[in-house]
Amino acid sequence: MDNFYYFLLVFDYFAVIYFFLVNGTYLFLNVKAFFSIRKYWSARETVEFENKFQSEFYKPVSIIIPAYNEELTVVDNITSILSLQYPEYEVVVVNDGSKDATIEELKDKFNLVISSRSYRKDLETLPVKEVYDSTDYPNLVVVDKENGGKADALNAGINIAQFPLVCNVDADSLIDDHALLKIVEPFAKDWRVIAAGGTIRVANDCEIRGGQVTKVRLAKKPLVRMQVLEYLRAFLFGRVGWAALNSLLIISGAFGVFKRKHLIEVGGYSTDTVGEDMELVLKLNRMMKKSSREYRVVFFPDPVCWTQVPEDIKTLSNQRRRWQRGLGQSLLMNKEIFFNKDYGLLGLFTYPFYFFVEFLGPVIETLGYLAIILTIFLQSAITPVAVLFFITAVLMGILLSIISLLFEEMTFHKYNKLSDKLSLILYAFLENLGYKQLHTYWRLRGIIDLILKKESWGTQKRKNF
C-alpha cells in the first residue's frame, strides 16, 4: 500500500507540473498574441484598403464553398459572399451529393444554367455530375458531384477555380464585408506567403441581415456561451500567438486562403482524414521545407468569419471527438516533423506540443484528475498537492479565460452590452468547473475512436441564420 501511495503521489506532482507548463505556455501565447494584435491594429489604422486593392497588385480570388445537406444555410452564405468588397473574385459552390434540397435551393435562388466551363482534373476527385453558371451572378459557379466528403469537395472546387488564390469557406458560415480584403493583403505585400487564416467567431443568436452580421449578440444557451470563450482563446489569441512564433500548424477549414499552385503541388486535401485543414498545413510545411523554399503561413485576428456552433451536447460531442480524431490522423500522417531539427521551432517545439498536449493531453488530464481524487480519498483530507493541482489545473484555466476576455475588450470589443461581458466572466469560472472536464472526456473518446479506426463523421444539425 505504501508503494502504491508513493507512486500515486509522484503522479500527482507530475500532473501539477504538467498543468503548470501547459497553462504557462498558453499564458505566454496569450501575451505574445496581445502585443502582436496591438501592433497589427496600429498598422491597420493606416491602411486604405480601397486604394491599395484598386492598384495592380491585388490578386483575384476563387472562393470555394463545400456544401453537404446545407439547404438551411447555403443561400444566406452565398449571399454574404457575393456582397463582399473585393475587386475580382468568383464563388465556387460544390454540392457534395447532398441528400436534401441543397442543389434545388441553389437552382431556384440563383437561376442556374448548365455551364460551358471545362472541368480540369488537376486533383483526383469523385465524378462530377454537372457544372452550372448563374444567370444573375456572372461570378458564381456551382459544381454538382457525387458524395466524397469535404476534402473531396474542396479538391473539386480547386480543380475548377480559375484564380491564383483559393479561399475556403464553410457553408454554415458568413464572412464580414471587408474580411476578404484583409486576409488577402499579405499575399499582395509578401511573395513568401503561401497561406493565411482568419478568426472564427460564433454567429448563434446574432442579428443577421443580407448575409452580414449587423449586431453581435451573446447566445442565450449556456453551451454556446462556453464555446464563445473557447473560440476567443483558440482563434483570437492562441493561433495569433503561434503565428507570431512562425509556428502555425492549422488554418481553419471555415476560413482560409491559399495559393492554388501550392495546393496542386502538394496533392490537395487528403481524403483519408477528418482533419483535412490541419493536415494540409502540415503537408505544406513539409513540402516547402524539403524544397528549401522561403515561405510564410500567417494568421490575422481581424478578418472575421461567423459560424454556427452546436447547441446540444450530442452534436458538440460528435464534433469534438471528430476534431480529436482528425488531430491524431494529421499528426501521424506528418510524423517526420516530430523533433526534427530541420523544421526549426515547428519540429522541436510546436509539433511536440501539439502531440503531447493537444493530442495526448486528455489521457494525462484524466489520469491526473483520477489520481488527485484517489489521493484525497486515501488521505481523507485535502492534501497540499491537491491544492497545487487545483491552482494549476483550474485557477490557471480561469485566469487564461479572463485574460482572453480582457484582451478582447481592449482590442476588438465585439460584445458591447455590459450584461454580455459580465456573463462571459461568469462563464470563465463555470467553464473550468465541469465543462472543461466534459470536453476532456470527449477528446479522450476521440482518441479511442482513432485507435478503433471509426470513420463516422457524426450528425450535424443546422438552422436558418
φ and ψ of 310, to 5 deg: -60, 145
| C-alpha grid cell, residue 347 | 519540429
Which amino acid is it at 212? Answer: Q
Return the CATH number of the domain spanning residue range 1-465: 3.90.550.10
Strands (E), 228-330: 255-259, 296-307
Maximum CA extent, the chain: 79
Query: Are the beta carbons of 427 and 137 closer than 8 angstroms?
Result: no
> Among 309, 193, 326, which Cα is nearest to 257's?
193
CA atoms of 33 and 93, how far apart (whole Å): 34
Would you tell me how many other CB atoms lie within 10 Å of the CB of residue 423? 17
Print pLDDT tens along the chain (465 aa): 577 878 888 899 999 999 999 999 999 998 898 888 888 777 665 555 545 545 455 789 999 999 999 998 888 889 888 988 888 999 999 999 999 999 999 999 999 999 988 888 999 999 999 999 999 999 999 999 999 999 999 999 999 999 999 999 988 888 888 889 889 988 988 899 999 999 999 999 999 887 788 899 999 999 999 999 999 988 878 899 999 998 999 999 889 999 999 999 999 999 999 999 999 999 999 999 999 989 999 998 888 899 989 999 999 999 999 999 999 999 999 999 999 999 999 999 999 999 999 999 999 999 999 999 998 888 877 888 999 999 999 999 999 999 989 888 877 888 888 899 999 999 999 999 999 999 999 999 999 999 998 877 666 666 665
Please give the pLDDT value at position 416.
84
Please give the pLDDT value at position 459.
60
CA atoms of 433 and 424, how far apart (whole Å): 14
Please give the pLDDT value at position 461.
64
